[in-house]
Amino acid sequence: MKIAIVCYPTFGGSGVVATELGIALANRGHEVHFITYKQPVRLALLSSNIHFHEVFVPEYPLFHYQPYELALSSKLVDMVKLHKIELLHVHYAIPHAYAGYMAKKMLQAEGIMIPMVTTLHGTDITLVGNHPFYKPAVTFSINKSDVVTSVSQSLKEDTLRLFDIKREIDVVPNFIDISKYDHDFTDCQRSLMADEDEKIITHISNFRPVKRIQDVVNVFYKIQQEMPAKLMMVGEGPEKEMAEMMCRDLNIEDRVVFFGNSNEIDKILCFSDLFLLPSETESFGLAALEAMISGVPVISSNTGGIPEVNEHGFSGYLSNVGDVSDMANNALSILKDEAKLLQFKKNAKEQAFKFDIHKIVPLYEMLYNKAFEMA
């Protein structure tokens, strides 16, 4: 099948899922065309069946805002015709589903029928899309998609609660390529980061307010009061500076490493003992899954789709949003007991196996076939 994938090419989870999906589809013999404004960060190699087409938005002084949707829908039309693309898979409702629908209608006017699959990832529904400024366009684009998927049951329920949806929504969870995380705990140069008696706690995100970065620092503060520990903060975003200042004020700056965005997530996770994800809301929590497949138990909030990923008392622990004390106590209960830590590390990996790429990608292929019937 010839598939166009539209996504955000940045470090966010939706872009990562879209990119990994495209690569997996190409490995399964499909021809995949990524259409976006920049080459996706996790797309290292282009090949005979993985292509990238850049959407260019020319600057024009008349436009106060440069019309990306317009450029994207025109690019989609051109690429579909040029490469005989058979299906559009758009990730994130705004503005991708909207632009995809316009492209579909323009193609239809030329006698070309193409189905569109829309995958909802979370903030397009729970934070941004629900805003009155966007809601009519998001509702319309979802209802006009031939197949709609959401990355968790919780996100499906949120979508049905917040929007007037006439379409069935199929849940297809985030997934993980197990083979990429097949490391031995002895090979990750842990000693460069911490002393032997120190435990390593890690947080990875885009440092947006929804991630509750203050809670990450406060949980770590409580942990390091009880035992030697280091905190690895990976990612860039609006709350990073505040977190750095907080660490200075709390006098723990020598125990916290800020990495910025990193392409070596697997290496960092390889030497981590615990992962913190105290988000306000999280449709799935791909970062937690990436931690778990590296054998890192997760201390998280119990919001959104996280309970579908992190099993309380097995792969980690869940607490109410903002309950920093409970999170710290749960963390300490694992970190202070070597046998329990080892067991939770094993469990985390076992739990992550449920989201093996080889189980999930065929679900998308099935839904592509359904989209052809619907279109």
Q: How far is the CB of 169 from ligand GMT (least distance, A)?
A: 14
Q: How far is the CB of 71 from ligand GMT (least distance, A)?
A: 21
Q: How far is the CB of 284 from ligand GMT (least distance, A)?
A: 4
Q: How far is the CB of 266 from ligand GMT (least distance, A)?
A: 17
For ligand GMT, give the closer residue by CB, 2 or 240: 240
Q: How far is the CB of 283 from ligand GMT (least distance, A)?
A: 4
3-state secondary structure the chain: CEEEEECCCCCCHHHHHHHHHHHHHHHCCCEEEEEECCCCCCCCCCECCEEEEECCCCCCCCCCCCCHHHHHHHHHHHHHHHHCCCEEEEECHHHHHHHHHHHHHHHHHCCCCCCEEEEECCHHHHCCCCCCCCHHHHHHHHHHCCEEEECCHHHHHHHHHHCCCCCCEEECCCCECHHHHCCCCCCCCHHHCCCCCCEEEEEECCCCHHHCHHHHHHHHHHHHHHCCEEEEEECCCCCHHHHHHHHHHCCCHHHEEEEECCCCHHHHHHCCCEEEECCCCCCCCHHHHHHHHCCCCEEEECCCCHHHCCCECCCEEEECCCCHHHHHHHHHHHHCCHHHHHHHHHHHHHHHHCCEHHHHHHHHHHHHHHHHHHC
Q: How far is the CB of 355 from ligand GMT (least distance, A)?
A: 11
| Binding-site ranges for ligand GMT (CB under 6 A) | 12-14, 17, 121-123, 151, 174, 205-206, 210, 281-286
For ligand GMT, give the closer residue by CB, 11 or 344: 11
For ligand GMT, give the closer residue by CB, 112 or 171: 171
For ligand GMT, give the closer residue by CB, 141 or 174: 174
Q: How far is the CB of 290 from ligand GMT (least distance, A)?
A: 10
For ligand GMT, give the closer residue by CB, 141 or 205: 205
For ligand GMT, give the closer residue by CB, 51 or 121: 121
For ligand GMT, give the closer residue by CB, 121 or 345: 121
Q: How far is the CB of 110 from ligand GMT (least distance, A)?
A: 33
For ligand GMT, give the closer residue by CB, 125 or 252: 125
Measured CA to CA, the distance from residue 115 to residue 235 in angstroms comes to: 36
